[in-house]
């Protein structure tokens, strides 16, 4: 078994890479990662330098991988470690560069270590990897832990401060935390399909007052003369992709003063590369597209990712980004709608507080222990926030 690192996904066979991705999770598809690179969105110049981990068997078959980037800042991550970087700086130490296993600009939970389904990894060892917590001792372990240890070896070789694995699935997070990697919690708001047959079926779970409020909100959009259309990727024209980038650009500029993380060619290229996993909600007013929301979807999940507009309408954001997505998920039989990070306004619209996970390793033992202490204090607050926001859900009390 061979562990290696590549500086561009374009050097990896797309068919072999995609054969490892479970459930067509869109953000790890070769097409998605490659489009980030070719659009100039993830490069050394943008502070997202690809450094992906590849694992091959003795016959040179790709059997496992992990997305990995060298970062010289913490933008576009959504698990905030600015305070950690500041602590390094105040002690005359360099926090950047660091290694990051994550999907760039995408706070969506999913697999971070992917292993070919035919590989039995529970008993696959990697005897030449140094375990980060064993003071140089050699340890046989399973493949996910061996992959993590290989990343730590690479982190030490590169001389970086740390490694962070963001928005991993619960199984990987548990495995890593049991092996000594720090675990950090976050909280997002996700919608769960309870076998609904249509949108009104979902609304029937609301209390009477909350259901009435939501229907009024949807009616406001209609009364303003705005109509909405859902289109999957192969029905979206080149002109519509160009217009969507304009919306994306304007929205980022209003919010943060910069044009956004993604290059102009990202959206139209993605539309050509993986149209079967894209769904755009388009809003029209007087025959002109005035707003749009772009979603990606897997076999089981819908992911709300990008939104933009050039004209403001009351409640349009909620309709385009949430209610249209819920309708689509019900129609397709998708089980979960993950609309992105933050946003307590989602609670009253039926999105349930959901814990997210990340894992962290810091090379300097002093800072590793300091961050561990910080997380011990932070974690009860995250869990309490989850419990408190659950009491605000609009559903009928049984």
DSSP letters spanning 128-161: TPBPTTTTT-B----HHHHHHHHHHHHHHHHT-S
Asked if 287 and 305 touch (Cβ cutoff 8 Å), the reply is no
Angle at 96 between CA 87 and CA 92, to 5 degrees: 45
Q: Alpha helix (H) ranges present in the chain?
A: 14-18, 30-38, 82-90, 143-158, 170-178, 199-203, 208-223, 238-256, 266-273, 316-318, 324-332, 365-390
What predicted TM-score, i.e. pTM, was given to this entire model? Answer: 0.92
Read off the DSSP letter of residue 397. Answer: P
pLDDT at position 138, please? Answer: 30
Q: What does the DSSP 8-state code read for residue 180?
A: T
Q: Note the maximum CA span of the chain.
A: 69
Q: Phi/psi of residue 6, each to 5°?
A: -120, 145
Q: What is the CA radius of gyration of the chain?
A: 22
pLDDT less than 70: residues of the chain: 120-141, 253, 255-259
For residue 1, give the nearest of 60, 53, 51 by alpha carbon. 60
Cα–Cα distance measured from residue 277 to residue 298, given in angstroms and rounded to the nearest whole number: 7
C-alpha 27: how far from chain center = 7
User: pLDDT value at position 140?
Assistant: 37
Report the pLDDT value the prediction gives residue 256, as an integer from 0 to 100. Answer: 67
- The predicted pLDDT at position 139 comes to 36
Token pair belonging to 18: 């995609």
- Domain range list for the chain: 2-188+355-390, 194-334
CATH code assigned to 194-334: 3.40.630.30
Per-state percent for the chain, helix, strand, coil, to nearest 5: 40, 25, 35
Count of H helices and E strands in the chain? 12, 15
Two tokens, residue 294: 């772009």
d(CA 275, CA 255): 28
Q: Is the dihedral of CA 351, 352, 353, 359 positive or negative?
A: negative
Q: 346: buried, middle or exposed (CB in 10 Å: 19+, 13-18, 0-12)? A: buried
Nearest Cα to 94, choosing from 362, 373, 372, 370? 362
Look at residue 336 in the predicted model and tell me its pLDDT: 98
- Structural contact between residues 69 and 42, judged by C-beta atoms closer than 8 angstroms: yes
pLDDT of residue 260: 80
| Residue 97: cis peptide before it, omega within 30 degrees of 0 | yes
What was the pLDDT predicted at 397?
86
Class of domain 2-188+355-390: alpha beta
Write the burial class of residue 375 (CB in 10 Å: 0-12 exposed, 13-18 middle, 19+ buried): middle
User: Among residues 337, 36, 122, 179, which one has the least CA distance to residue 165?
Assistant: 179
**Beta strands 182-192 and 278-285, pairing class:** unpaired
d(CA 156, CA 159): 5
């Amino acid at each position: 078994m061979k562990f290696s690192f590549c500086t561009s996904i374009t050097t990896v066979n797309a068919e072999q890479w995609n054969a490892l991705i479970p459930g067509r999770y869109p953000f790890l598809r070769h097409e998605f990662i490659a489009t980030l690179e070719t659009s100039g969105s993830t490069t050394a110049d943008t502070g997202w330098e690809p450094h992906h981990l590849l694992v091959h068997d003795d016959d040179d078959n790709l059997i496992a991988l992990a997305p990995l980037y060298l970062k010289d800042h913490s933008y576009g991550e959504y698990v905030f470690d600015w305070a950690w970087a500041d602590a390094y700086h105040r002690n005359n130490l360099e926090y950047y560069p660091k290694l990051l296993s994550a999907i760039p600009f995408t706070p969506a939970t999913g697999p971070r270590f992917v292993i070919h389904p035919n590989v039995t990894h529970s008993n696959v060892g990697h005897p030449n990897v140094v375990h980060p917590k064993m003071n140089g001792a050699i340890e046989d372990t399973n493949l996910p832990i061996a992959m993590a240890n290989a990343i730590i070896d690479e982190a030490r070789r590169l001389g970086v401060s740390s490694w962070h694995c963001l928005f991993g699935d619960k199984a990987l997070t548990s495995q890593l935390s049991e092996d000594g990697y720090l675990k950090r919690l976050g909280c997002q708001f996700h919608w769960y399909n309870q076998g609904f047959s249509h949108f009104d079926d979902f609304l029937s779970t609301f209390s009477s007052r909350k259901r009435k409020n939501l229907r009024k909100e949807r009616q406001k959009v209609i009364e303003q003369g705005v109509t909405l259309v859902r289109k999957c990727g192969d029905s979206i024209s080149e002109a519509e992709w160009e217009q969507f980038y304009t919306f994306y650009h304007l929205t980022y500029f209003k919010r943060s003063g910069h044009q956004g993380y993604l290059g102009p060619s990202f959206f139209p290229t993605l539309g050509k590369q993986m149209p079967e996993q894209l769904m755009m909600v388009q809003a029209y007013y007087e025959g002109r597209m005035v707003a749009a929301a772009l979603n990606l979807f897997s076999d089981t999940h819908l992911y709300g990712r990008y939104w933009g507009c050039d004209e403001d309408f009351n409640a349009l954001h909620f309709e385009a980004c949430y209610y249209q997505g819920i309708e689509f998920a019900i129609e397709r039989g998708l089980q979960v709608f993950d609309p992105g990070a933050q946003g307590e306004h989602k609670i009253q619209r039926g999105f349930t507080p959901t814990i997210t996970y990340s894992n962290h390793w810091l090379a300097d033992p002093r800072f590793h222990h300091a961050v561990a202490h910080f997380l011990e204090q932070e974690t009860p607050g995250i869990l309490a926030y989850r419990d408190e926001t659950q009491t605000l859900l609009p559903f009928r009390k049984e």
